[in-house]
Structure 1
Amino acid sequence: MSAYTVFRLAGEAHAGWYAVAAAAAWVVVRASRTRYAWRNLGERDNGSPLLRDWLILMAVLAVMRAATGEFPAFHLVLAGLVVCLPLAAACQGLTHRHLLARRRSGRGVRRALVIGEAAALDGLVNHLARRIDHAFVVVGVCPVGDDDPHLVAPITGRLDRHTPAQPSDDSSPVLAAARRLQVDLVFVVSGPSMAAERLRRLSWAVHEDGRPLVVVPGMTEVAQRRVNVSSLAGLTMLHVAPPVRRGAALLLKAVTDRVGAAVLLVLLAPVFVAVAIAVRLDSPGTILHRQIRVGRGGRHFSLAKFRTMVANAEQLRCELAGTNEQDGLMFKIRRDPRITRTGRVLRRFSLDELPQLFNVLLGHMSLVGPRPPLPDEVAKYNEVEVRRLSVKPGLTGLWQVSGRSDLSWDETVTLDLRYVDNWSPAVDFGILRRTVRAVLVGNGAY
């Protein structure tokens, strides 16, 4: 519609046909890049695929104009289609939310049968059960060996631990279970007892039965863009790229942080003044509360926040230690008596975090990253948790947009490490976009 309006206002005689051609080209571009496939439709992404598709559309339309000479000038096409990006992103977001709602009610899912050793079955099935950002529900398992998994999913068959002489000894119980349960696909968790030639022969039978087979390697929380598949000497190999730690992407992040912080500080100057007055009038004490936090590489820096607690909050923390509601290293109380009336409002909308924009401007922090920890928390970190310090802490992050204080310590660490390992500019953009909604909703803000 926007393209038709622009073409019409520009006096194009065939505005309607041009708009139809542009819409058809958009559908073709999206379809050719499998955006409408079951595994991609409605799934949350960080906006990067959508932007790439839009750029390809512009290139396709430019080629059409060069080949036929019958399409509007490029500046008209750009003006008419620039609205497509936010509209497409909004439609994708609505589709994603619709799919999540259907999955929560047990609809819009794909029935899966899982094969593997007992311990591996426990790991995969429990992992899938904890999350809803996928389209699979496990309706049955086929353990390899005599051990039983500790799962709610029924055991619908069992394979011998040793490779059988005949492939049908494996395929018969698997196909019988798949047909009985009407599964859409078969997961195989690879392991010592289910790999190489045995797995290959099982795939023959599953594919001939008309069902997809998905092999699950023993890796988690690795973004798809970091994994490449190759074949060497008849072996299938996964190449895992290292996390981004240098190069143009990191330079772009640094520039975006500094420029973004400077712009926000100017735009939000009236908010700073209003909040400062409210803090001063509400309770005695300083306007800003300063703490030493730990940044990238273990370097300490002074972090500033608008004060949301009474002046002697740190002294009272020792008295309240027994009421800590967090199960890990962080100290959180849902109804913390130290928080002032103004402080509750500031925390509800994360306004107390705004002075950290100065930390971003100074290079201590980033706009997006893990939560900046306290030194006494870091002193208790194990070898896994210390990896959180591989990147700059952030003003917002996966922790902020996924529940904040409602998350357990283990969930917080998992989210932070997922970000540390899979960071990219597109991921940052997606988190910033989700932060707006998280702040307005206020879940877990206390």
Structure 2
Amino acid sequence: MTVLSERRSKARLGTPSRTLRYLPVISFVLDAVLLVTAVLVAVVGRETLSIFPTAASLRQELHTIGPLLVAGWLTTLWLGGAYRPSVYGAGTDEYKRVLNSSLATAALVGVACFFANYPLPRGFYALAFGIGIPALLVVRYVVRRLLHGARRRGALLYRVLIAGSPSHVDEVAAVLRREPHLGYRVVGALTPAHYLEEETRSGIPVLGNSDDATSIVLESGADIVFFASGALASSSHMRQIAWDLEHEHVQVVVAPGVTDVSSERVRIRPVGGLPLMHIDAPRATDASRWGKRLFDIVGSTALIVVFGPLFLIAAGQVKLHDRGPVFFRHVRVGRDGEEFGCLKFRTMVVEAESMVVDLQEQEGQSALLFKMRNDPRITRPGRWLRRYSVDELPQLFNVLKGDMSLIGPRPQVAREVALYDDAMRRRLRVRPGMTGLWQVSGRNDLSVTEAIRLDLYYVDNWSMMQDLSILAKTFGAVFGSRGAY
């Protein structure tokens, strides 16, 4: 047995992911059960609650209305792509397809009943769709969480081969490893013939030549093959490989040489059979418009009212501990490099600032994003204030004033900003935020490089939906106190 054959044999070890093929079937069955239940509940609820009472007797026609509504709804979901294998596991596309298809069903039913002059009870209509649509979305969310949990335990994974130059293979693999919930398990690499090493720099075993991709993919039992830059010499070779694998249940994915671009900024436009990827301009300016500012004003005002009692409790504990000042006003750098006074509940000893340089030397860290897991400057009440991010609540007043936003990169001090390179200065194109993408992705457990990458991703790919998602995830990150110290 040759060295390459041995590597391919090793790559075949592990549990295959063929059960993932049944995920659309499982979703279809769950949706059918949900919709039948929603229809039955709508019938009972309409009669019990007397919603929009009419003389129509729905029970007598249930054997006709129920099956037609359920069958039509499932058909619309299928036509809308809600059962495509590619939508499961990540992103909002799955939820969008379910929601849009369900709303289309509701519209079609209403229009059909109007033109057919069919007296469908309004109470039944309202309850069926009012219960069915949220139930479909909730179950999809639960299934996704179960899928992510299984993948964290090493189950239901896609076995992935990456073809390309070694540097591009490592780059694609690094992106896939950052998102373990996607379920991509890289089992090997296919490199150009001139590359003779057994592994790439990141330790991915080289299983053979990318020109022999078809035979190696089939031999290794891979589910997906990624083609990165430098994989093949011609597009015709890529087309031939796609033809060879079309009946083998293997996905062929082309990984372009761009990263950290959201799907909302990418458009594929075929020109003469050549798929061209258009990337819209970064959206930093969108994150500074009136819509986001209005969201900040309304949101910060509401949160100040809700957390008013917590303000009093925190202020009392800080004051009673050492009789020092309750608030700590620190000069930070905001949007376009303008400085402002960032408010926090004081969590450190009064002379904390004078100790920073010595602590940096002891820890061997630079000023950029300086953090200590066991910082000796933190007071006793300061520990719980930091653990649950209560110390940052006064920044709601900074948001109300306009110095900060609810969502955005965290504000930094001048000595940290002085260490920025050109790429990092893009953080200053938006208002700094109370919470951001890296806070809900691990907080202080992340490396400096990863935290910066997430901040730049936020700046370039801003959207209001992303802000709402981050805000929702913040509560889970705070109450779970992940990475907080």
Q: CA deviation at 1:13?
A: 3.4
Q: CA deviation at 1:203?
A: 2.8
Deviations 1:100-154 (A, max 9, x none): 2222232212222222122212222233234303132222322113123335443
Identity %: 35
Q: CA deviation at 1:258?
A: 0.8
Identify the match of residue 156 of structure 1 among 207, 212, 222: 207
Aligned-partner SS, 2:350: coil
Deviations 1:43-100 (A, max 9, x none): 2539972654554454344334424434333x77456644556544543333222112
**Corresponding position of 1:395:** 434
Question: Judging changes above 3 Å, is the alpha-carbon distance between structure 1 residues 246 and 62 closer, same or farther for their aligned structure 2 residues?
Answer: farther
Aligned-partner SS, 1:39: helix
**Corresponding position of 1:66:** 114
**Corresponding position of 1:119:** 167
Question: Judging changes above 3 Å, is the alpha-carbon distance between structure 1 residues 380 and 158 closer, same or farther for their aligned structure 2 residues?
Answer: same
Identify the match of residue 354 of structure 2 among 305, 312, 315: 315
Question: Judging changes above 3 Å, is the alpha-carbon distance between structure 1 residues 28 and 234 closer, same or farther for their aligned structure 2 residues?
Answer: closer
Deviations 1:139-193 (A, max 9, x none): 232211312333544322214xxxxxxxxxx3xx322212211222321113385
Deviations 1:180-221 (A, max 9, x none): 112223211133853433333333333365533211110111
| C-alpha contact (below 8 Å) 1:3/1:79 kept by paired residues | yes
**Pair 1:97-2:148 in alignment:** no
Separation in 2 of the partners of 1:93 and 1:29?
A: 20
Range moving further from structure 2, 296-305 or 99-108: 99-108
Q: CA deviation at 1:372?
A: 1.2
| C-alpha contact (below 8 Å) 2:43/2:124 kept by paired residues | no
Q: CA deviation at 1:304?
A: 0.5
Identify the match of residue 13 of structure 1 among 48, 52, 57: 57
**Corresponding position of 1:379:** 418
AA of the residue aligned to 2:185: V
Separation in 2 of the partners of 1:355 and 1:211?
A: 53
Separation in 2 of the partners of 1:283 and 1:43?
A: 48
Question: Judging changes above 3 Å, is the alpha-carbon distance between structure 1 residues 416 and 245 closer, same or farther for their aligned structure 2 residues?
Answer: closer
Task: Give unpaired runs (5+ residues) of structure 2.
Answer: 1-37
Question: Judging changes above 3 Å, is the alpha-carbon distance between structure 1 residues 137 and 277 closer, same or farther for their aligned structure 2 residues?
Answer: same
Q: Superposition pairs for residues 331-346 of structure 1, below 5 Å?
A: 331-346=370-385
Separation in 2 of the partners of 1:272 and 1:362?
A: 18
Separation in 2 of the partners of 1:325 and 1:346?
A: 27
**RMSD of the TM alignment (CA)?**
2.9
Identify the match of residue 155 of structure 2 among 100, 107, 118: 107
Q: CA deviation at 1:340?
A: 1.3
Q: Superposition pairs for residues 25-424 of structure 1, below 5 Å?
A: 27-45=74-92, 49=96, 52=100, 55-68=103-116, 69-73=118-122, 77-78=125-126, 81-82=129-130, 87-147=135-195, 148=197, 149-159=200-210, 170=211, 173-191=212-230, 193-207=232-246, 209=248, 211-246=250-285, 250-324=289-363, 329-424=368-463
Separation in 1 of the partners of 2:392 and 2:438?
A: 14
Separation in 2 of the partners of 1:366 and 1:48?
A: 28
Task: Give unpaired runs (5+ residues) of structure 1.
Answer: 160-169
Separation in 1 of the partners of 2:249 and 2:133?
A: 38
Aligned-partner SS, 2:398: helix
Q: CA deviation at 1:287?
A: 1.0
Given the two structures, how large is their TM-score scaled by the length of structure 1?
0.87
| C-alpha contact (below 8 Å) 1:141/1:157 kept by paired residues | yes
Aligned-partner SS, 1:156: strand
Range moving further from structure 2, 96-105 or 366-375: 96-105
Question: Judging changes above 3 Å, is the alpha-carbon distance between structure 1 residues 57 and 426 closer, same or farther for their aligned structure 2 residues?
Answer: farther
Question: Judging changes above 3 Å, is the alpha-carbon distance between structure 1 residues 234 and 89 closer, same or farther for their aligned structure 2 residues?
Answer: closer
**Corresponding position of 1:165:** none
Aligned-partner SS, 1:191: coil
Question: Judging changes above 3 Å, is the alpha-carbon distance between structure 1 residues 256 and 353 closer, same or farther for their aligned structure 2 residues?
Answer: same
| C-alpha contact (below 8 Å) 1:327/1:409 kept by paired residues | no
Separation in 1 of the partners of 2:305 and 2:473?
A: 22
Given the two structures, how large is their TM-score scaled by the length of structure 2?
0.81
